[in-house]
Structure formats: C-alpha cells, structure tokens
Structure 1
Amino acid sequence: MIESWRWYGPFDKITLPEIAQTGATGIVTALHEIPYGEVWPSALVASRNGEIRAAGFDWVVVESLPIHERIKRGEGDLSELFANYRQSMANLAANGVKTICYNFMPLLDWTRTDLTAPVARGGSCLRFEAAKMAAFEIHMLGRAEAEADYTPEALQMAAIWFQKASETDRDALLHAIMSGLPGAFDRYDIAGLRQALKGYEGIGRADLRANYQRFLDEVVPAAEDLGMALCVHPDDPPRDILGLPRIVSSGADITWVLNAVDSPANGLTFCTGSLGANPTNDLPALARQFADRVHFAHLRNVRKDPDGSFEEAAHLEGDTDMAAVIAALLDEQKRTGRIIPFRPDHGHELLWDAEKGTHPGYPLIGRLRGLAELRGVIAGLRHRD
C-alpha cells in the first residue's frame, strides 16, 4: 500500500520537508484556493505537482475536487458546472494525477462538535456529541424538526447544555461544526447557515440520489476516457444531519453508488472512521465486499457511544478491527497487482501539536503515530504471507 499524507498546500502549517520525515511517499491534496465549480487551471495543477515532486513525493490522490452545491440540489442549468468538472479532471489527468476522492454530502463535510476533546492519557481528539449537536440544531439554529432526530436523553442533555452555555461556548460549537469544510470557502454564521439550508428544502433522500445519479452519468464516462478513478468518500457522520439526507452511509448505500454506473472508474474511498461510526456497519466484511472498487483508503478508528456520539480513537484502539480491514485490502492487492494508497486520518493532538495550529484533525505528531502503527500492521500482515 502507498503511504500517503494529506497536505493542504499553501494553507497548511505542516511543510513538505516535515512530511518527508514521516516516511510517507505520497501526497493527498487539492487546489483549495479555487472556488467550488470553477476550472482547476492546468498551469496551477502543474505548478502544485512540480512543488510536490521537487520535495520527493508523488501526488497520488486529489482530495477533493469539490462538487458544487447546485449539482447536489439539482438546481437550474448545470451544463457549465459539469463541463468545468470534466475539464478539471482532464487537467489533472494531463499532469499525471488520476485518482479523485470526493463526497456528495449536502452543504457540510465532516462534522464534529468538539475539536479538542480530552484523551485519557493526554492529548485531544475530535468528537461528535449527540447532545451538543441537538443543542445546536434546536436551540441555536432553531430547527424544531430536529427533535425527531435525537433520543429523549440527548434532547434533555441538549437543553441543559444550552442553558449553561456561555456565548463563547456557543461560538466554539459553531466553529467546530464549520471546521470540517476544506479550503477557504463556504463558512457560515447562524443566519448564513439558515439561509443555505433553505436551498435544500423539499429535497429528500430519493431526490439527492437522483441528483447524484446525474453527476455520475456526467463524469464517470470522462473518467473512463481519461484513465482516472473516482472514489466517493462516505458520509461523516453516517446519519442525516441538519435535516439534510445522507446517502453514502452503509453497505446498501455503497452498493447503490457502485451500481448507479457500474464501472471500475466509479469507486470508493474506504474510510474506516466514517463507516465505523455507523454501528450497523461490519467494516472487515465491507472491505472484503467492495475491495475491487476501493481506490483509496482513510484508515482511522472511532469509539462509539450508545446515543450516537463518537470520538476519534487511536488508530488501533477503537471499535474497528483495523488489522482485518487492512488484510482485506492487502488481499485485493495480491489478487490484482494494483497498489492502493492510504493515509492516516484524524490523528490525536499530542505533545506540541496544539502549538502548531494545524487544520483540526490533521496534526503532525498524532498522524505520525497513526502512520507508524498502520505501517507496523501492514508489515506484520505481509510477514504472514
């Protein structure tokens, strides 16, 4: 497997020379400075790729080439947006970058309520607290329908939290929820988020699937022609949120996606954290089931609570049998000869990570620990063969 590392380019506090010391050989990045829906210029792709190569890496995966919200909503004439997406694909392929991780989550990407939840032996992690999310939806955003999405216990705890929360606490919660958005665009305050949600009024699961089907119909043939692999990232968290449907959260959802356009170019990013937060998912079984369409892997672990809360665990310490997942991917490589890139994901902030001021979930030391642990699992599993 190709050891890779997510790098936010000019937005990242971690430098390529620092990443080189982790032992990773592949870079996962994007042109985060380009607004959603615009073409990624070939010259800028080439410049970023040249910078990566000069530092001794290969740009192995684009994460992400974002999908404009109008495509997700199926709103208006989308021909220019689809053409721009295909042109960006072509510009990437022309520069030798041929794997694209993307998601079809409405409005928000990964969502957490705490960016620095304490870890038992020191450090901090990302956490999704059901009660705090309920407090945000019901008491801050004013979405009354949200009451049906949470347990009575979570609703009670949400009311208590909101009553005790200071303005600073509420601002921190909004900041945490907005922090999953990559790049420099589409951050919202409460009023802005309410307005953005209006664009999704009346759009249910079937509607979002239909819009996703249209996207796949428009771009997968281009990926085939370019020799590219598209790989959808599962929903994070794997549940409806803010009244928005999530449609890539389970094995049944993934089956639908891969059958929507049955092509090797239409694949999956196997994220053990996102899929692992759904208590109904058996991750080793899913890895074996979909291994032939996995083009990229995010390897991290979560620890779940009965009320739907979860937090990022150390890479080998959560609810997911990481060794069994990796074994399934290694078996796929052995069977086909293709090499799957992976990256350690959402590490704990450890030691002086907090002083670095990196993107939430993407510290240096915490991910270095995760990469080292995953490297050890891979070495051990290869030794068995």
Structure 2
Amino acid sequence: MKQTWRWFGPNDAVTLADIRQAGATGIVTALHHLPNGAVWSVDEIMARKRLIEEAGLTWDVVESIPIHEDIKTAAPGWQAHADAWAQSVLNLGECGIRTVCYNFMPVLDWTRTSLDHELPDGARCLRFDAADFAVFDIHVLERPGADADHPAEIVAEAARRAPGIDRDALTGTILAGLPGSEESYTLDQFRERLATYDGIDAARLRENLAAFLRHVLPAAKQAKVVLAIHPDDPPRPLFGLPRIVSTAADMDFIAGIDESHANGFTFCTGSYGVRADNDLPAMLARHGDRVHFLHLRATLREEDGLSFHEAAHLEGDVDMVAIVSEALSIQKARGVELPFRPDHGHQILDDLTRQGGAPGYPAIGRLRGLAEIRGIIHALSRNRAA
C-alpha cells in the first residue's frame, strides 16, 4: 500500500521534509490558494507538482477540487461550474495526476464541535458532541424546526447547557471552516445558504449528484483520472440537510450511476465507522474494484450513540487489521498499489505546542498512526508470503 500524507501547501506547519522523514512517499494536497470555482491551470498544477517532487515526494492524490454549492442544488447555470471542475480534471490528467478525492456534503464539509477535546492521557483530539451541536442548531442558529431533528434527550441536554456555553467559540468551530473545507460563513450567510436547500431531500440530492457525475465523468475518462467520492462526516443529516454518502446502500447507488472505473470511492474508515450499522470490511470488499484511496482512522462512538471522538488509529470502533487485510486482498486482485493516508490523529508530545498546525492534522499524532498502520501492513504481508 502506498503511504501518503495530507499536506496543505507551503504554509502548512508540517513541511515536506517532515513528511519525508515520517516515511510517507506520496502527497495528498490541493491548490488551496485558488478561489473556489477557479479552473486549476496546467501552470499552477505543475508549479505545485515540481515543489513536491523537488522534496523527493510524489503528488498522488488531489484532495479536493471543491464542488460549487450551485451544483449540489442544481441551481440554474450549475453546468458552467461543472464545466470548470471538469477542466481542472483534464488539466490534472495532462500533468500526470490521476486520482481526485471529492465530497458532495451540502453546505458544510466535515463538522466537529471541539477541536481540542482532552483525553485521559492528556492528548487532545477532535470531537463531535451531539448536545453541543444541538445547542448551536437550536439556540444559536435558531433554525426553525430544529428541535424535531434531535432526540428529545439531546434537546433537553442542549437546553441545560445553552446558558453557559461559549457561543462564539462553538460558532467558530462549526462555521469557520475546518481544514480542506475551503469555505466559512457568518450566521446570516449560513442561514441564507441553508435556505437554498429548501425542498431538496435525499432523493433530490442523489439526482443532483448523478447529474454532476454524468456531466464530468467523460472528462475524467478522457484524462484517465479516477474520481473518488468521500463519505459524509458525520454520516447522518445535519441542519435538516440530507446526506447521501453515509451507508452501504449509498455506495451501491453511487456505483450504479456509472459503472466505469472512473466513478469510484475514497474509503474513509472514520467517517463510515461512526455508524454502528455500517459493516466496514464488507463495504470495502463489495466495492473494492472501485476504491481508489483510503483514509485510515478510527472513531469511538460515545454513550448517546450520536457523539463521537477521534480515537487512536488501532483503537475505537474500527477493526483496522480487518480493513488493511481487505485492502491488501484488493491490491492483489487488481494488481495496483492503493494509496492511503493516516487521517487525523491525536495531538501528542510536541503537537501540543506546535504553532500553526491545522486542526486534526498534527505531525506526531499522524506519524504514530502511520507507524501503527505500517506495522499492520508488514505483519499481514509477511504472513501471506509465508
């Protein structure tokens, strides 16, 4: 399996030299400095590719080319945004970059309520607290009908917490934009954006995803680029918005939109693992012929069944050994080397004082995860060869 690392560009506190020392050989990145909707030119792509290669690494996966909200809502003129997206894919193919991870989450990308939740050992991690999220939805955003979208016990706990919670900090965490999300909102902007989804249910959003893929897949096939959709994070509806990349059934639907190799998946064990009804090894096996990229991380579901936090890579609710074993079988069957990256990680040791690091992407915490996964790969590969 190809060891890769997410890098947020020249301003990332974790440098390309750091990544090489960690043992990764591939980079997962995007042109984060370009505005959403802009076509990625060949010159811009090649400048970034040269920078990576000069450090002794390769640019293996794009994560991500942002998808305009007008595409997701099928607003008039969405095709022009899709054309720009497709042109970026064509240009990436011309530059020899063949895998594009993307997501179709409405309005917000991945969502957390805390970026520095302290664990018993003093490490810090990302966390989604269902009651804190309900405080924001019901008492800060004041979304009409929000009460009905949360269990009664969560609504009651949110009411208890609301008077004492730091509303500005909670709002900033949820709306300011986590790494890779590329967009942030004020409360009023967020309310306006939510309104554009009025009348769009899961079935309609699926139709919009299908329309987008049918529009851009011809360019991907021409460029010999594979598209790899990332699951919802968390994998359930938020703010009354549908989520359509959360379950095995969702994967089946997406696979059926177009049966070509170019229409594929990013298999994120942390995102899919939040749901107890997802059988991750079975899902990976079922669609292994079109899984092009893996995010390997573990989440731990909490007592209320809705809250969760990032666990250590070999702990939590993900059977990482079973996942890696299945990935190795897929590699052998397909004759490919699958890229994976250690996703997220705990802030430990010097991570706790490092300045400028992206939330969820500590250097040493990810190094620990990569080392642990590397150990699984080595052990399983040696046993198979015996």
Asked if 1:251 is matched to 2:248, the reply is yes
Cα 1:300–1:105 change in 2 (3 A) is: same
Partner residue in 2 for 1:382:
381
Aligned residue identity for 2:349: L
Please give the alpha-carbon distance, in whole angstroms, between the structure 2 residues aligned to 1:246 and 1:103.
11
Partner-residue secondary structure (3-state), 2:158:
helix
Partner residue in 2 for 1:231:
228
Asked if 1:373 is matched to 2:372, the reply is yes
Larger mean Cα displacement after TM superposition, 77-86 or 87-96: 77-86
Aligned residue identity for 1:314: A
Partner residue in 2 for 1:303:
300
Please give the alpha-carbon distance, in whole angstroms, between the structure 2 residues aligned to 1:50 and 1:374.
29
For residues 147-158 of structure 1, what are the structure 2 equivalents within 5 Å?
A: 147-158=147-158
Aligned residue identity for 1:313: A
Please give the alpha-carbon distance, in whole angstroms, between the structure 2 residues aligned to 1:181 and 1:54.
29
Please give the alpha-carbon distance, in whole angstroms, between the structure 2 residues aligned to 1:111 and 1:371.
23
> Following TM superposition, by how much is the alpha carbon of 1:284 offset from its aligned partner in structure 2, in angstroms?
1.2
Percent identity between the aligned chains? Answer: 50
User: Which of the numbers 273, 278, 296 marks the counterpart of 1:276?
Assistant: 273
Partner residue in 1 for 2:20:
20
Aligned residue identity for 2:306: G
Please give the alpha-carbon distance, in whole angstroms, between the structure 2 residues aligned to 1:276 and 1:180.
23
For residues 1-385 of structure 1, what are the structure 2 equivalents within 5 Å?
A: 1-165=1-165, 169-178=166-175, 180-182=177-179, 185-305=182-302, 306-356=304-354, 357-385=356-384
TM-score (norm 1): 0.97
Q: Is the 8 A contact 1:112 1:180 kept in 2?
A: no
Q: Matched residue pairs, number?
A: 382
Partner-residue secondary structure (3-state), 1:244:
coil
Q: Is the 8 A contact 1:28 1:62 kept in 2?
A: yes
Partner-residue secondary structure (3-state), 1:231:
strand
Deviation digits for residues 277-317 of structure 1, max 9, x if unmatched? 11110111111111111000000000002331010000001
Structure 1: stretches of 5+ with no match in the other structure: none
Aligned residue identity for 2:155: L
Please give the alpha-carbon distance, in whole angstroms, between the structure 1 residues aligned to 2:98 and 2:181.
24
Please give the alpha-carbon distance, in whole angstroms, between the structure 2 residues aligned to 1:347 and 1:31.
23
Partner-residue secondary structure (3-state), 2:227:
strand
TM-score (norm 2): 0.97
Larger mean Cα displacement after TM superposition, 336-345 or 176-185: 176-185
Q: Is the 8 A contact 1:231 1:268 kept in 2?
A: yes
Q: Is the 8 A contact 1:267 1:295 kept in 2?
A: yes
CA-based RMSD of the aligned residues comes to 1.2
Cα 1:183–1:315 change in 2 (3 A) is: closer
Q: Is the 8 A contact 1:235 1:249 kept in 2?
A: yes
Cα 1:73–1:258 change in 2 (3 A) is: same
Q: Is the 8 A contact 1:39 1:87 kept in 2?
A: yes
Structure 2: stretches of 5+ with no match in the other structure: none
Cα 1:24–1:185 change in 2 (3 A) is: closer
Aligned residue identity for 1:87: Q
Please give the alpha-carbon distance, in whole angstroms, between the structure 2 residues aligned to 1:181 and 1:13.
15
